[in-house]
Every structure is written in C-alpha cells, then in structure tokens.
Amino acid sequence: MAKSRSLINGDNQLKLAMQRSGRLTDDSLNLLHQIGLSFESYGQRLFSRCRNFPLSILYSRDDDIPDYVGLGTVDLGIVGRNLIHEQGIDAIELEPLGFGYCTLVVAVLRDSGFQSPAELCSARIATSYPESARKYFASIGGRPDIITISGSVEVAPSLDIADAVVELTATGSSLLLNDLRSIHTILESEAVLVANKRSMDNPELRPNIDRLLLRIRAVQAAKRFKYVMMNAPESQLPVIRSIVPGLKAPTVVPLADEGWVAVHTAIEEDVFWEKIEQLRAAGAREILVSSLEKLML
Ligand code: ATP
Ligand code: ZN
C-alpha cells in the first residue's frame, strides 16, 4: 500500500524544465510529443503533468534551467549547451537534441584591423556571456575588459562601447547586419538534454530517465535514416550490398520476375543522394523512400 501511494505521489515522478517561450520552445515541445508524451502545453502554463508517463514539465526562462538542473530542483532540462557552459554547472549531458544550433563567436567590426583573438587580450569585449568570454580569453592568456550587456550586444562596437563582441550566432545574419565579422568560434552549441547527477544515481528515478532516453534516441535515430526499397537484378546484389550495407544487412526478397530481387535497407540522411546515385548506377530501379518514425538501434 505504502509503495503504490509513493508511486502515485511521485517518488519516481521526474521533473523536466524546458524554455517557456523562445527559440527552443517549439522544438522541445515537438520532441516531447514525438516520444509519445501526452500533456497540455498551451498558453501561459508554468507546469504540466504528463498523463501517460511519470513526468512533470516545468516551463521557465532558459537562463534558470542550468541552475534548476544543477541544484536538483528538476531532474532533467532541455537547454542550449551555451548556457551550461556559461553557468559552469555540474550536470550530465545525456543527449544532443539536434535543434537550437548556434555558435558562440568572437566578432569584430568588418573594417577593424583585428585578425585573431590574441590581439584582443586587453581590449574591451561586450557580451551576454561574460563567463564564457572570460574563460576563453584566460585560456589564451588574455584578461580583456568584459562588458556585460543583456541585449543588442552587436551594436556595441559601432557605438565604440567595445572593440569586439562575444555573441551567439546561428546564420551570421545579425553579425552581418551590424558590420561584424567572426574571427574565432569559442563553442558549437545545440539544445541538449541534461540531468542532475543525484537523480541519475537515484534508483527510483533512474529507470524512468533511461526509458525517456531510449525514446528520445529512437526519435533521433529515425531522423538520421531513410527507409529505402528498390528492385535490382540479382547479379548486382554484391555491388548493391557494398553501397548500402544496411543496419545489419539489407533484407533481400526474390521477385516473381526471374533474376530480380527487392532490397530493403536504411540509408543515413547525410549521404542519402550520393547513395541513391550509386544505387541507380548499379542497376537499382523503382527506388521507394520513406521516413522512419522511430528506430531502436
Ligand atoms: P528567455 O526568455 O527564456 O530567457 P532568451 O531570449 O534568453 O529567452 P532565446 O533567444 O530564445 O533566449 O534563445 C534560447 C537559446 O536558443 C539560446 O540559449 C541558444 O542556445 C539558442 N539559439 C539558437 N540560435 C540562436 C541565436 N541566433 N541567437 C541566440 N540564441 C540562439
Ligand atoms: Zn534567456
């Protein structure tokens, strides 16, 4: 009796924090829905409880998430790696999530003479990421004057408030717009799933963290692959097999037409078109491609 009460009350109930409203919100919600979680996520909610998994979701500012995870206020967080790096918290990065890509760069005015960060070691640097900037310049023996600004960092050099910026960029368009050019990448970032260390060691929580992670990895893996079916002359099988070795080996089914087979396999997205061209050259025909929803490797 005591045990089932504790389950209802949530000794094994996980808490996950994600960004409430911003660049990571839609993709985070999509991921949680894709792994089959059912919860309300509309409007200005601060909190939802999943109906079909022992998980509660806390919607917060992204800047608060690293601390929540580090201190154990929540067990898990979805947040940009740049913020984990900035806040230097002690947490476990469980999985990169494939969205929220950006880089933290050192940028200077296009017409300035600066060519490398080493020339900025005692310059004025404007940034919203003071710790990341400080750590980076310390690593190359510099101690610049760090000016912390929370928004519109890119205008600082034009206003002669700073000689350079340390700023996040995804497409580079905002740098370009402000006449800035990047001279160094400090960090490559994307959204990551992070976990509190004690939660990972907690026997009540760990099995549910592992279940979530298995589902997330299945969705991630499915995005990396396409499922491909094709017809090919049986004599070409060795060549086709060398082009698409498949996850273990391709499935080969004989066709009613003598000397022809159907081949089923998975191809990684990155090399997809290259492989299709090679398959066609090897004699594959009627190539049918479909997306995968989940893939457990
Ligand atoms: P909040 O209100 O939650 O504090 P915010 O304005 O600080 O939001 P966003 O601008 O929504 O944060 O960015 C959230 C995260 O998105 C960043 O920490 C970073 O990981 C990622 N990101 C991706 N591309 C960019 C970009 N071009 N500029 C800034 N962040 C980006
Ligand atoms: Zn923020």
Instruction: Give pTM, 2 decimals.
Output: 0.89
Q: Could you tell me if 241 and 199 lie in one domain?
A: no
pLDDT for position 230 = 96
Residue of minimum CA distance from atom 3 in ligand 1: 61
Cα-to-centroid distance, 87 and ligand 1 (Å): 15
Q: Residue 234 falls within a domain, yes or no?
A: yes
DSSP helix/strand/coil, 25: helix
Count CB atoms within 10 A of the CB of residue 248.
8
- Atom number of ligand 1 nearest to Cα 101: 23
- Residue-level pLDDT, tens digit, the chain, 297 residues: 444 434 444 678 999 999 999 999 999 999 999 999 999 987 767 999 999 999 999 999 999 999 999 999 999 999 999 999 999 999 999 999 999 999 999 999 999 999 999 999 999 999 999 999 999 999 999 999 999 999 899 999 999 999 999 999 999 999 999 999 999 999 999 999 999 999 999 999 999 999 999 999 999 999 999 999 999 999 999 999 999 988 888 899 999 989 999 999 999 999 999 999 999 999 999 999 999 999 988
- Atom number of ligand 1 nearest to Cα 191: 20
Residue of minimum CA distance from atom 19 in ligand 1: 80
Q: Which residues contact 179 (CB under 8 A, 6 or more apart)?
A: 109, 110, 111, 157, 158
Nearest ligand for residue 21 CA = 1
Q: Could you tell me if 88 and 32 lie in one domain?
A: yes
Find the CATH number of the domain harbouring 212. 3.40.190.10
Q: Is the CB of 132 under 6 A from ligand 1?
A: no
Q: Could you tell me if 13 and 24 lie in one domain?
A: yes
Distance of CA 22 to the CA centre of its chain: 15
pLDDT for position 10 = 64
Q: Are 77 and 16 in contact (CB under 8 A)?
A: yes
Q: Residue 155 falls within a domain, yes or no?
A: yes
Residue of minimum CA distance from atom 30 in ligand 1: 168
Which range of residues forms the domain containing residue 146?
102-189
pLDDT for position 8 = 42
Cα-to-centroid distance, 205 and ligand 1 (Å): 29
pLDDT for position 12 = 84
Phi/psi at 240 (5° precision): -60, -40
Q: With CA atoms as reference, report the closest residue to 191 among 224, 216, 218.
A: 216
Q: Is the CB of 19 under 6 A from ligand 1?
A: yes
Nearest ligand for residue 96 CA = 1
- Atom number of ligand 1 nearest to Cα 62: 3
Q: Could you tell me if 108 and 96 lie in one domain?
A: no
Q: Could you tell me if 196 and 117 lie in one domain?
A: no
Q: Could you tell me if 232 and 172 lie in one domain?
A: no
Phi/psi at 137 (5° precision): -65, -35
Q: Residue 139 falls within a domain, yes or no?
A: yes
Structural domain total, the chain: 3
Q: Residue 296 falls within a domain, yes or no?
A: no
Q: Could you tell me if 136 and 170 lie in one domain?
A: yes
SS3 of 243-285: the string is HCCCCCCCEEEECCCCCEEEEEEEEEHHHHHHHHHHHHHCCCE
